[in-house]
Amino acid sequence: MTSMYCFKCVHYGKRFTCAAYPKRIPDDIFTGRRKHDTVQPDQVGDRVREVKPELAKVFPEGQPAFRE
């Protein structure tokens, strides 16, 4: 099972990391079970999820976060 939740974000880095979680994105955020649309107490800085404009058209937000 993979998630598009973090891959669609402009802040996503490599290997399950991003600007807010430079060591590792928590599993519940990475899978989309916990949304990252507000600053979380366990993150670094104040960046939140921003969908890449080019992916917003291909993968609309209304679609399920999971693919099997």
Pick left, alpha or beta for residue 44 (phi over 0 → left; psi -120 to 50 → alpha; otherwise beta).
Answer: beta
How high is the pLDDT of residue 1?
Answer: 41
Helix and strand element counts for the chain (H, E): 2, 2
How high is the pLDDT of residue 63?
Answer: 55
How high is the pLDDT of residue 68?
Answer: 45
pLDDT averaged over 10-residue windows placed end to end, the chain, 68 residues: 76 93 94 92 96 78 52
